[in-house]
Chain A
Amino acid sequence: DAGVIQSPRHEVTEMGQEVTLRCKPISGHDYLFWYRQTMMRGLELLIYFNNNVPIDDSGMPEDRFSAKMPNASFSTLKIQPSEPRDSAVYFCASSSPGPSTDTQYFGPGTRLTVL
């Protein structure tokens, strides 16, 4: 298996622009997680899905952030409009059978820079 795939690997955009990050989980994994990593706050869970359904989005910082999982093999995290404070590395991870009983496998991350 190719592991968790994320695209793009790097994104540089200007404040106010829309940003879409993409993730393909490992085939057969039922859970998908979006994390954000910054120097100040470390790694934080933004949202996670089970069988394509959002379960906990309490970590989503504000309404400018939205995430979707239209099918078992694809998820997006969208920021609109983007702000400089959104600059971070965004990771996608997947696991099976459960978030607290099995290992999460992380993608390589998307490094987002908002100017």
Chain B
Amino acid sequence: KQEVTQIPAALSVPEGENLVLNCSFTDSAIYNLQWFRQDPGKGLTSLLLIQSSQREQTSGRLNASLDKSSGRSTLYIAASQPGDSATYLCAVYDYGGATNKLIFGTGTLLAVQP
């Protein structure tokens, strides 16, 4: 059974710092991996989607990498800003025979201090 783990569970950094969020998954047979952001009381917003054949994706100050063989992904945030404060979730599309579904990690709560 696929399990997705995110470390750390919470992180507080000063504004301007570069930071890395970690995601690990137990079964490397995935279709793709997505990073989402969730603001308090809101739904999820997709940040980056990495196909299983790709190694990384970049969007602005965000860079996500994927290493299927080791079951790991990282989300790198450059020059963090207070507006980056949110919960970050990674999720993998798990190959389950006739169906497939997103399996979510428990998230990393990020606070960027001004």
Residue numbers of A with Cβ under 8 A of B are: 4, 33, 42-45, 48, 55-56, 58-59, 91, 93, 99-109
Contacts and interface: CB of A to CB of B under 8 A. Distances in A.
B89 A105 contact: no
22 contacts: A4-B43, A42-B105, A42-B106, A43-B89, A48-B101, A55-B99, A56-B99, A56-B101, A93-B43, A99-B101, A99-B102, A100-B100, A101-B31, A101-B51, A102-B49, A103-B34, A103-B49, A104-B34, A104-B44, A106-B36, A108-B43, A109-B42
A42 B99 contact: no
A58 B101 CA distance: 11
B107 A106 contact: no
B102 A104 contact: yes
Nearest to B52: A100
Q: Which 6 A-B pairs have the closest CB atoms?
A: A106-B43, A100-B31, A100-B93, A43-B104, A56-B99, A106-B44
Nearest to B51: A101
B46 interface: yes
Interface residues of B, number: 22
Contacts of A4: 43
Contacts of B99: 55-56, 58
B18 interface: no
Contacts of A44: 104
Interface of B: 31-32, 34, 36, 42-46, 49, 51, 89, 91, 93, 99-102, 104-107
B32 A104 contact: no
A101 B43 contact: no
Nearest to B4: A42
Contacts of B34: 103-104
Contact of A103 (B42, B46, B100, B106): B46
Given A42-B105, A42-B106, A42-B107, A99 B44 contact: no
Contacts of A104: 34, 44, 46, 102
A108 B106 contact: no
Given A42-B106, A45-B102, A55-B99, A99 B43 contact: no
